[in-house]
């Protein structure tokens, strides 16, 4: 399917978030450990967003992350307190192009999708009827992730947690749903886990959310299946997707180190 991660904390080189650790996102592109029958490698492109004072910036390329010198030559010299990265395994071999690589988003939001929606055109046809046609026509790529971003963006005014919960709930009845969504605004991280793996790690001043742990630190915690999380430095709240975000979280993870 894909692998993705998000980080919020003290400023670090963007490249370090992508390549740092004994099991970095870059390594997960060719040696993932927990794909759950979602493919074997993630070499159909990659992308990264980072936040600065003037908004969100993004770099994407439809080549394997390890083959692009921009990561070491350019991104190693850019620091940011928030990073969202993704490596891609394309469900549709005809969609291997830059526009189909996450993260998607706008000036504030960055979005990535790890999963698949079988028959996504039929699944989204009724859901997108409430979205202005002008927005539908701005779909970043004609793939399930592109349709997801258009629908999610339309619902974000209700709040990130509510938007993610409603979108995933609407798609849970599709055939074999795999719905790990990752959203960041440069300060907070929201994510869902449906079928695929998701982990969090938090310290007093930083938080990571990732498909797989990027190192051997024992503080990584797996997110239960069919959950929604809200993460920020020092704190992770976890809800069951059967509950609304208005309920108290099932779990709250804190770290004051």
CA-CA distance, 253 to 162, in Å (whole number)? 20
Residues 6+ apart with CB under 8 A from 219: 201, 202, 203, 255
Nearest C-alpha neighbor of 84 from the set 63, 99, 67, 102? 102
Band the pLDDT of 245: cuts 50, 70, 90: low
How many C-beta atoms lie closer than 10 Å to residue 187's C-beta?
A: 12
Domains recognised in the chain with CATH numbers: 2-254 (3.60.20.10)
CB 45 within 8 A of CB 63: yes
Q: Supply the pLDDT for residue 85.
A: 98
Q: What is the pTM of this model?
A: 0.93
pLDDT digits (tens, 9 = 90+) for 131-143: 999 999 999 999 9
Tell whether the model's pLDDT for residue 202 goes beyond 60: yes
pLDDT, average across residues 58-63 = 96
Q: Which residue from 149, 191, 194 is spatially nearest to 169, judged by alpha carbons?
A: 194
Give the three-state DSSP class for 67: helix
31 falls in which pLDDT band (50, 70, 90)? confident
The per-residue pLDDT for 257 is 53
Q: 97: exposed, middle or buried (C-beta count within 10 Å: 0-12, 13-18, 19+)?
A: middle
Average pLDDT over the chain reads 92
């Amino acid at each position: 399917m894909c692998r993705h991660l998000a980080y919020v904390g003290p400023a670090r080189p963007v490249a370090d978030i992508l390549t740092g650790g004994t099991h970095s996102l870059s390594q997960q592109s060719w040696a993932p450990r927990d794909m759950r029958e979602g493919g074997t490698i993630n070499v159909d492109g990659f992308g990264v967003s980072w936040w600065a004072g003037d908004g969100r910036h993004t770099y994407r390329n439809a080549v394997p992350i390890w083959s692009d010198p921009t990561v070491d030559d350019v991104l190693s010299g850019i620091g940011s307190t928030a990073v969202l990265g993704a490596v891609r395994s394309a469900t549709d071999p005809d969609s291997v192009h830059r526009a189909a690589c996450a993260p998607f988003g706008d000036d504030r939001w960055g979005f990535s999708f790890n999963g698949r929606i079988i028959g996504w055109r039929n699944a989204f046809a009724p859901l997108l009827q409430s979205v202005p046609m002008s927005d539908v026509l701005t779909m970043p790529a004609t793939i399930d992730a592109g349709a997801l971003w258009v629908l999610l963006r339309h619902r974000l005014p209700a709040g990130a947690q509510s938007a993610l919960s409603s979108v995933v709930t609407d798609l849970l009845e599709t055939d074999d749903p795999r719905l790990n969504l990752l959203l960041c605004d440069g300060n907070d991280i929201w994510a869902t886990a449906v079928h695929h793996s998701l982990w969090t790690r938090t310290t007093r001043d930083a938080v990571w959310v990732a498909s797989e742990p990027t190192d051997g630190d024992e503080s990584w915690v797996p997110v239960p299946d069919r959950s929604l999380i809200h993460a920020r430095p020092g704190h992770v709240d976890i809800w069951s997707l059967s509950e609304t975000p208005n309920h108290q979280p099932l779990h709250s993870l804190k770290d004051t180190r």
